[in-house]
């Protein structure tokens, strides 16, 4: 839609390793490639698709192998290294902006929490979770900033406090807002097709009309 609207913008889509095994993903990828969508696909390879390990999710050894089959360039990067991720995304963005079409980046790391709050992650070896604690991307980046004297402890604490406060205010504002109307969910999805209302069933269908 950015291209249709003549906007000089690119899209960045994040999805899980598990999501890349769904049919819709493959159709979407082909469509994006054929349309040369100005888009970066970022697959978060955190080694688990909910409770399914990567070994039972795919036969490829790297999720980057899925890109070339659709004509999409792909590269893998250490997802715990903030600067490496920044560099890969910056290069991909330059390529996409110069008309190179859709690009894929695989971030390799580990999901240290459950799939969602309801998931206690009891199918993962606790020793593995503990081992990955040492590779927390934010902790590693913080250490790098201090080690290279790119920032002082005081500056980092000030940034953390400011960010925490910004998030707290934003969260409170969001919680205080009224729920949107259901019909708003599809507003702006289509440009020239009137949105059918209601877009979901509000009552059970009449079986005599089936
Ligand atoms: C279309 C669809 N199919 C199946 C599911 C069921 N499902 C919920 S979570 C999940 C795995 C998601 O794995 P991943 O994308 O790697 O996310 P992560 O576990 O890393 O959060 C699946 C298959 C779903 N939510 N939607």
User: pLDDT tens-digit profile of 137-151?
Assistant: 999 999 999 999 999
Mean pLDDT of all residues in 188-208 = 66
pLDDT at 5 over 90: no
Please indicate, yes or no, if residue 209 is contained in any of the structural domains: no
Tell me, what CATH number does 1's domain have? Answer: 3.40.50.970
The residues facing 106 across adjacent strands are: 43, 76
Please indicate, yes or no, if residue 62 is contained in any of the structural domains: yes
Alpha-carbon Rg for the chain in angstroms: 21
d(CA 190, CA 52): 35
Please indicate, yes or no, if residue 205 is contained in any of the structural domains: no
Please indicate, yes or no, if residue 35 is contained in any of the structural domains: yes
98 plus 170 within the same structural domain? no
Please indicate, yes or no, if residue 81 is contained in any of the structural domains: yes
67 plus 26 within the same structural domain? yes
What the block records as the tokens of 55 is 């070994």
Burial of 15 (C-beta count, 10 Å sphere; 0-12/13-18/19+): middle
108 plus 145 within the same structural domain? no
State what percent of residues in the chain have pLDDT above 70: 93
Among 25, 28, 49, 56, which residue has the most ligand 1 atoms within 8 Å of its CB, making it the best to mutate? 49
If you measure from the C-alpha of residue 153 to the centroid of ligand 1, how many angstroms do you get, rounded to a whole number?
Answer: 39
110 plus 143 within the same structural domain? no
Q: What is the reported pLDDT for 145? A: 98
Report yes or no: 25 and 19 within 8 Å, Cβ to Cβ: yes
If you measure from the C-alpha of residue 158 to the centroid of ligand 1, how many angstroms do you get, rounded to a whole number?
Answer: 37
45 plus 86 within the same structural domain? yes
114 plus 165 within the same structural domain? no
104 plus 64 within the same structural domain? yes
3 plus 65 within the same structural domain? yes
Tell me what ipTM this predicted complex has: 0.95
198 preceded by a cis bond (ω within 30 of 0)? yes
pLDDT band, residue 3 (cuts 50/70/90): confident
What the block records as the tokens of 22 is 């769904």
- CA 124 to chain CA centroid, Å, is 22
Please indicate, yes or no, if residue 182 is contained in any of the structural domains: no
User: pLDDT tens-digit profile of 161-183?
Assistant: 999 999 999 999 999 999 988 77
Closest atom, ligand 1, to C-alpha of 52: 11
12 plus 116 within the same structural domain? yes
Find the residues whose C-beta lies inside 6 A of ligand 1. 16-19, 22, 46, 48-50, 111, 115
Q: Which domain holds residue 58?
A: 1-120
Among 18, 20, 24, which residue has the most ligand 1 atoms within 8 Å of its CB, making it the best to mutate? 18
pLDDT at 195 over 70: no
């Amino acid at each position: 839609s950015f291209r249709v609207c003549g906007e000089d913008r690119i899209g960045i889509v994040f999805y899980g390793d598990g999501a890349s095994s769904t049919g819709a993903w493959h159709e979407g990828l082909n469509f994006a490639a054929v349309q040369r969508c100005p888009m970066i696909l970022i697959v978060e390879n955190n080694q688990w698709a909910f409770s399914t390990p990567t070994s039972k999710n795919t036969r490829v050894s790297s999720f980057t192998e899925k890109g070339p089959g659709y004509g999409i360039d792909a590269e893998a990067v250490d997802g715990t290294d903030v600067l490496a991720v920044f560099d890969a995304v910056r290069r991909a963005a330059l390529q996409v902006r110069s008309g190179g079409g859709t690009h894929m980046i695989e971030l390799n790391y580990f999901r240290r929490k459950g799939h969602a709050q309801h998931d206690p992650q009891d199918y993962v070896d606790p020793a593995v979770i503990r081992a990955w604690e040492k590779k927390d991307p934010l902790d590693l980046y913080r250490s790098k900033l201090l080690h290279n004297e790119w920032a002082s402890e005081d500056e980092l604490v000030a940034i953390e406090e400011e960010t925490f406060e910004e998030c707290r205010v934003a969260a409170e504002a969001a919680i205080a807002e009224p729920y949107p109307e259901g019909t708003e969910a599809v507003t702006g999805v289509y440009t020239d097709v009137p949105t059918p209302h209601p877009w979901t069933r509000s009552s059970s269908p009449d079986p005599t009309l089936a």
